[in-house]
Every structure is written in C-alpha cells, then in structure tokens.
Amino acid sequence: MRRLAPLILAGLLLASLGAATAHAGGRMISTPLSTKGARIVDAGGRTVVLQGVNWFGFETANHLVHGLWARDYRDVLAQVRRLGFNTIRLPFSLEAIRSTAPVSGADFSGGRNAALKGATPLEAMDAVVEEAGRQGLLILLDNHSHADDAYQQGLWYGQGFSEDDWVATWKRLAARYRDQRNVIGADLKNEPHAEATWGTGGPTDWRRAAERAGNAVLSVAPQWLVVVEGVGGGAPVPGQRLDTHWWGGNLEGVRTHPVRLDRANRLVYSPHEYGPGVFPQPWFGKPNTPALLEERWRTGFGFIAEQGIAPILVGEFGGRNVDRESAEGRWQRQFFDFIGRTGASWTYWALNPNSGDTGGVLKDDWSSVQPAKTALLQRMIARQRIAFRGSGAVFTAPRRATTPRRGGKAAPKTPARSQTAAPTQPSAPAQPPAQPPADDAPGPPAPGSLSARVVVENRWDAGWCGHLEVSGPDATLAAARATLTLPPGTRIAQSWNAQRSGDGGRVELRFPAWAKVAGGAPYAATGFCVDGSGEAADVTVG
C-alpha cells in the first residue's frame, strides 16, 4: 500500500479544491460519475469499478455505524482505505433520518469519536461522510429499511412511513449531500421482496416506485448515480426465466420493462447474491453447481451488462467461509472470480463482524481482519483470477441451535442491535417459486374440494418458519382463503405471498391472484414465521 500514499495525498489536495477522488487500480477517480453502456465512468470518461464494503449501523436502533464502541470512526475509515476499498455502501433507516435524538453505541473516552458526541443521526452521518472524503473514499447511501431494524419488510413503505415519506427523505438527503463530492449516489431501497412486483403499474410496482424516487433524486442532485435493486420472493416478473431469486435479486424484468429515468446515464442495476451459509437454496445441492451458478448469474442479471443496457453493481454478497472444500467457500470464490471476469462493481457484505450469517471483514475485536477473506478480497480488487473448484461434498444445511433472526436470506441477514457479535441463527425458508396463471387457468375451487397442511421448514427454541401446502383438484386460489388457528402465546411475525388479517389466534390468509393448484402439484408459495414454540393447531382452506 505504500505506493498509494502519494496518490492519497494528491486526492486530499484535490478534494480541498472541490473535486472528490478515490483511489482505484493505482489512479484516482474524479466525480461526478455517470454511465456509458455497461460501464461506470468518472468525470474524465475513464472506466470506474467501484470496489467497496458495507458498513452498517445507521439502519439499527443505534442510528450510527457499528463498532464505534471499540474504536474511533476515523480509524475505521483509514483501515478501509488501507485495505484497498474505494467505496463504502452506507445503510440507513428512514427512522434514523427523522430522529433528532443523539446517536448511541459509541465510546467517547480519551477523545474517541468526539465529533459524534451529542450528534443527531444526520450530524453523525455528516461526520462519517466528510471523513471518508478526506480518506479518498466514495459513499453510496442505501435506504436499508423504513423503521429501525425492519429488515424483513419487503416494500419501501409501511410501519407508519408512506411512499411520499420515502421519496421526501431521498430528496432531503440529495439536497444535503449534493455538494459533498464523494457521495456518489442513492441505492433507493434494499431488497424489495414479498408483495413487490415489477412493471405492474400499481402501488407495489417497484419499477414504478424506483422511477419516481430516482427522478426525484436527480431533480435535486443531477450528478448522482441511481442504484436500483431487483425484487424477489413474490410473483414472477415479465420475462423471468429462473424459478426463484434471492430477495432483491430478481432483475429479469429489465428484459422487457427497464427502469426509465430522466437522465438515463445515471442508472445502475444492483443484484444481491448469497451462498448456502445464508440459506440452502436448491441449486447448491446439485453435482453441477458451478455450471448452474454461472448460468444463474448470467441469466439473472449478467445479461444487463452483456447487452450494454446499464452497469451492474453487486450491492451485497458475502459469507463466512472462503476455502475450497466447503460449499460456501467454493460459492464465494466462484462469485469473486465471476465479478472480476465481468468487470462488475461491488460492495461486499460486510465490514462488520456482527452480521449473524456472514461474519465480516473484521474479527470480533473490530480491529484485526479475517486473513483468508481479506486476501481473497484483495485479489478481487487487483482483478486476479480466483480458483474455486475443490473436493468438498455438496451443501447440507448447517445445524444451528441458537435464537433465530426475523428473516434470513430468503430473508435478509440481520445485524445485532447490541454492541457484540450476533450469533448465527436459522434462516427463514426459501420462498417457493410462484407461477403465473396460464391462458387456460383452472376455475375457482368447488366447496370442500381443497385440503391444506402446514409444513414446518425451520424450528428453534422460540419459534418456527414454514409454508402452507394446498392440495386438491385444479383450481385458482385468488378467491380462496386459509384460516390458521394458533395456540395461545404465539403470533405470526412475518408472512409472504398472502394478505394477512391478524397475527395471533385465528389468522386469515388471502392468496395472491396468481396462486393455483394445477397439474396435480400442490400450491406451496405462501409462508410465514411464527414467534412462539407451538405449531398451528388447525388450518382450513376454502
């Protein structure tokens, strides 16, 4: 890293003159950034590859990046720069941006974090952003949730926040940071999923909402990039070829319904990708997994860059293992290699060690690095090929016996609220692929013709996750409903592919319009997670 020192000093000088810079491959990046076909380019028209890391915390109840109970924020940023990253993706909640209360979770002894003492979340964000600029680091803002710690929420509104609130928050941030030249853009919403659709034109249409919010941001900060993730876990999107995706990872709708911004050269698409350590998706258990993964990545989002539609920024990917024997290690190495070969930009999840199912770049002391993981990341930064084939067996689900998070990755990975590392926990079940109704779709069910049962997929001491399996003769389920009777002391914490009435006792679930029993196959795309140890005592459908 010594050879970068003169460049960093030059960057600080340029920053003082009003041009934000970051180091990349031995040269400086000058903002503002824009896009040209499949490339992100800097102010001089030179290709830029964003190579970054997520540092989360502003989206949690602390309203502050994590780890500052152990060290000064300036030291953390200096370490990020020394490790070779040029970008930080900075998650936040709408609730944090609204708050005027002082942030928590920082050590102020001995002059540590002095600029943050008594600061509101926005004031603390100012300090982090400005110091990142001094260190030559770019910042990508990420709306991770509306309420604090609300990772399981699939839409950009809810829990007391409207779509208007979401758009207004982005305009507020754009106005605040449009002259802070190292702030390069807005990742509009983390991992839309469940009810989120693409190209439908209604309130749940993520493409419509992204266009609205993206154009609102550009009306205030026309030099920013607008980063749009996909959807996942709900109804198929137009042009979809793969059965299922990670939350926020389904960008197949871009084939026929691309996002339309007033400034087309500011659009970047952003999938998220995870391995079997987060959830044992079916493709990880196949003997030809490497070929399946390559095809999935090219079909799911790689086509966007291959066809010159827009650049790709992989906003999240990560895991604990990077060896060539474990399934997770082989997946992670292969994905590193794929990103390097395709020239995509990326921000790794996460710097934080307290990401329960992925771990971080840093160890639990918040200072020393995970050496094997860091070595691979630095090879990726250098655009070196990474070997990934090994002799390990196909993935089998890990045994975990600790308290679960709300979600997983068919639900999201969830950081701990506390100042200590989060335990690993079971994930919510993958949401089965939903199929659209065919032209010859069956009619509604005859009374009493359907049966249903609850299939439990994951269980732990204080809860469980599962799905409904509805069987019977061919029938559409749009007008049907299921009624669950839950034991006292239990409640549904989250559900997907259903409209739910109530949380405990008798709970009614209405199926989505595309749900059906057909060809002798049961319907199994509606699921839920329950707080409490009891199972559903009864389920009826009709």
State the catalytic residues. 191, 316
- Cα 520 from Cα 334, distance rounded (Å): 38
Q: How far is CA 358 from the centre of its chain?
A: 13
DSSP string, 141-162: EEEEESSTT-TT--SSSBTTB-
Query: How are beta strands 51-54 and 39-41 bridged, if at all?
Result: unpaired
Distances (CA, A) of 46 to 8, 24, 33, 181, 269: 19, 11, 10, 17, 20
- Asked if residue 230 lies in contact with residue 271, where contact means CB atoms within 8 angstroms, the answer is yes
- What whole-number distance in Å separates Cα of residue 19 and Cα of residue 8? 13
CA distances from 51 to 376, 380, 409 (A): 13, 9, 23
d(CA 270, CA 49): 14
- Classify residue 376 as left (phi > 0), alpha (psi -120 to 50) or beta: alpha
Of 187, 220, 205, which Cα lies nearest the Cα of 316?
Answer: 187
Which residue type does 511 have?
Answer: F
Short-list 272, 273, 266, CA closest to 227:
266
Q: Please calculate the CA angle 453-455-459 and round it to the nearest 5 degrees.
A: 140
Strands (E), 165-231: 183-187, 225-229
Provide the residue type at 58 as one letter. Answer: F
Closest-CA residue to 361 (of 148, 88, 133)? 88
